Structure 1
Amino acid sequence: MSVKWEGVFPAVTTKFTAEDELDIPAFVANLEAQLAAGVDGIILGGTLGEASTLSDEEKFELVRQTVAFVDGRVPVILNIAEQTTAKAIEVAATAKKNGVSGLMLLPPMRYKADASETVAYFKAIAKSTDLPIMIYNNPIDYRIEVTLDMFEELTACANIQAVKESTRETSRVTEMINRFGDRFKILSGVDTIAFESLVLGADGWVAGLVCAFPAETVAIYRLVKAGRIAEAVAINRWFYPLLQLDVHPKLVQNIKLAELMTGLGTEQVRLPRMPLEGEERERVLGIIENALQKRPVLPEVEVADLV
């Protein structure tokens, strides 16, 4: 199916059993909650998905399970985070065979490629497939920034259509629109500034806390796009302490604890990550419990109202 690159795209977590195997029932239960809330796509294999700890077999098992469960209701996107161009091209081809709708691309892993090398990497993958692509621009965590000049070069690839904007600079939304118009769809990749990015014209939100709070995330997006800013502001202010859990080295553990507390997952992570303990766990639990006690009643927003 085609990818519209608009709306809320959860970067879903990977669920594990106590025996460190994929927990498919828990994974599918979370997918069901996401779809029920009205999300617009599913992203697999990102940081929240603990992709670096997954074997290729596990990664594509998650792809197959997701594609089968979603059954065409929303696009399924696979993140590619590889060390070599050849491997990235191989993953893209396998992803297509397994039914994904599109790809999200990080720059090469480990090696800090320069601008020309990074552009060449993206172009080689784009030329190898007809799947639509979203570039993941996260220089804070992955050391390589995809600059405006680099995006200029990437306009040559028609299937590079969007950016997950995670520079943590809201000004980048305006800079991208001023330079490229609607050539690239812009999806905010940082929970704490997603509201502001949407107001500035971002087309969507690749979200993290949505894994535990799907309805609230979708409500903020839809209210902004319906022009009901004051209502969106109120929900975002309630949500903000939770959203801050996404911009932390232990975002996976934080969000999985939130999933546990909302009945949408478990705390199981894969080594080298370990579940939160002691004072750190109590602090995060306190944030989650306080939010749950004050959880807002959400207004209805019809999809037809979105502009």
Structure 2
Amino acid sequence: MKVNWEGIFPAVTTKFTADDELDLQMFETNIKAQLEAGVDGIILGGTLGEASSLMDDEKDTLVKKTVEIVDGKVPVVMNIAEQTTKGAILAAEKAKANGASGLMMLPPMRYKADDRETVEYYKAVANSTDLPIMVYNNPVDYKIEVTLDMFAELAGCENIQAVKESTRDISNVTRMRNRFGDRFSILSGVDTLALESLVMGADGWVAGLVCAFPKETVAIYRLQKAGRIEEAREIYRWFLPLLELDINAHLVQNIKLAEVATGIGTENVRAPRLPLVGEERAHVLGLIEEGLKTRPTLPDYLNL
């Protein structure tokens, strides 16, 4: 299935049972809620998906199950976060074999590769597969930035098609457009900068709080795309205190609590992560409760 790198791509959480097994029933409930809300793709195995704690066979299961659930409605994108080029190539092969339509790729993990090494890493994987690739550019969390000069080198790989822009520098959207035009699709990767990025010309949003609030997230995107910026802004202003739960070290626990509150998830995380406790838990629950209490009435955004 072709990946059109445009619109809302939830970076979905991985659901676990209380016995630390994959909870495929609740996972399916959440994916169906995303599809009903009108998302444009599903991303598996990102930070929110607790990728670093997943076993290889679990990743295989998640891709296969998601492909089955979406049934061709939207593309399924698998994140690649590997320590070696060999491992990344193998992960790309497995993702394709399991039915994924595209890849999201972080730079090499653990080892802080320099610019040349990072470019060669992306090129090697891109040249090993025909799956389309979105570069995950998040130097804040992963300490390696894919610069404009590096993107210029990667432009020769036709299947490197998009960037998840998570540098926290809103002007990077304009810098990418000024230098490359439409060569790369740009998707905002920071919930608290999403509407700003879309207004500045980003093509989409790799979203986090969408896991709990899919309709509100898609509504913001669709409204701004239709030029109804004021309506999008009002929903976004309501959403912002919740979106800030995504830019936090405990984003997985935060968002899973929100999924519980909206009935499409569980709180279970995989150790070493632990559920929130004490004042932190009370604070997050308070934000979620206030958000639910003041939840906006949405227009018919799917028919704009």
Same fold (TM over 0.5): yes
Rounded to whole Å, the distance in 2 between the matches of 1:254 and 1:60 is: 26
Letter in 1 for 2:25: P
Query: Which position in structure 2 is the counterpart of 1:62?
Result: 62
Letter in 1 for 2:96: K
Letter in 1 for 2:130: D
The residue correspondences of 1:227-246 to structure 2 (distance < 5 A) are: 227-246=227-246
Rounded to whole Å, the distance in 2 between the matches of 1:231 and 1:169 is: 25
Are 2:258 and 1:258 aligned? yes
Rounded to whole Å, the distance in 2 between the matches of 1:42 and 1:296 is: 25
Rounded to whole Å, the distance in 1 between the matches of 2:287 and 2:68 is: 35
Query: Which position in structure 2 is the counterpart of 1:100?
Result: 100
Rounded to whole Å, the distance in 2 between the matches of 1:300 and 1:186 is: 26
Identity level (%): 71
TM-score with structure 2 setting the length: 0.99
Query: Which position in structure 2 is the counterpart of 1:207?
Result: 207
Aligned-pair distance for 1:277? 0.4
Aligned-pair distance for 1:191? 0.1
Query: Which position in structure 1 is the counterpart of 2:195?
Result: 195
* Superposed CA offset, 1:92-151 (max 9, x none): 011111110000000000000000000000000000000000000000000000000000
* Superposed CA offset, 1:257-283 (max 9, x none): 000011010100000000000110000
Aligned-pair distance for 1:302? 4.2
Aligned-pair distance for 1:175? 0.4
Query: Which position in structure 2 is the counterpart of 1:39?
Result: 39
Query: Which position in structure 2 is the counterpart of 1:222?
Result: 222
Rounded to whole Å, the distance in 2 between the matches of 1:95 and 1:146 is: 23
Aligned-pair distance for 1:301? 2.5
SS, match of residue 167 in structure 1: coil
The residue correspondences of 1:158-173 to structure 2 (distance < 5 A) are: 158-173=158-173
Aligned-pair distance for 1:204? 0.3
Query: Which position in structure 1 is the counterpart of 2:271?
Result: 271
Are 2:98 and 1:111 aligned? no
Query: Which position in structure 1 is the counterpart of 2:295?
Result: 295
Are 2:26 and 1:26 aligned? yes
Structure 1 moving runs of 4+ over 2 Å: none
Rounded to whole Å, the distance in 1 between the matches of 2:227 and 2:300 is: 13
CA contact (8 A) 2:139 2:145 kept: yes
Are 2:83 and 1:83 aligned? yes
Rounded to whole Å, the distance in 2 between the matches of 1:233 and 1:101 is: 32
Query: Which position in structure 2 is the counterpart of 1:51?
Result: 51
Query: Which position in structure 2 is the counterpart of 1:12?
Result: 12
Query: Which position in structure 1 is the counterpart of 2:146?
Result: 146
TM-score with structure 1 setting the length: 0.98
Letter in 2 for 1:139: P
Aligned-pair distance for 1:300? 1.4
Letter in 2 for 1:253: Q
CA contact (8 A) 2:38 2:302 kept: no
Rounded to whole Å, the distance in 2 between the matches of 1:279 and 1:97 is: 45
Rounded to whole Å, the distance in 1 between the matches of 2:263 and 2:172 is: 36
CA contact (8 A) 2:93 2:129 kept: yes
Letter in 2 for 1:2: K
Letter in 2 for 1:235: I
Aligned length: 304
SS, match of residue 186 in structure 1: strand
Aligned-pair distance for 1:74? 0.1
User: What is the RMSD of the two structures over their aligned residues, measured on CA atoms?
Assistant: 0.6
Structure 2 portions without partners, runs of 5+: none
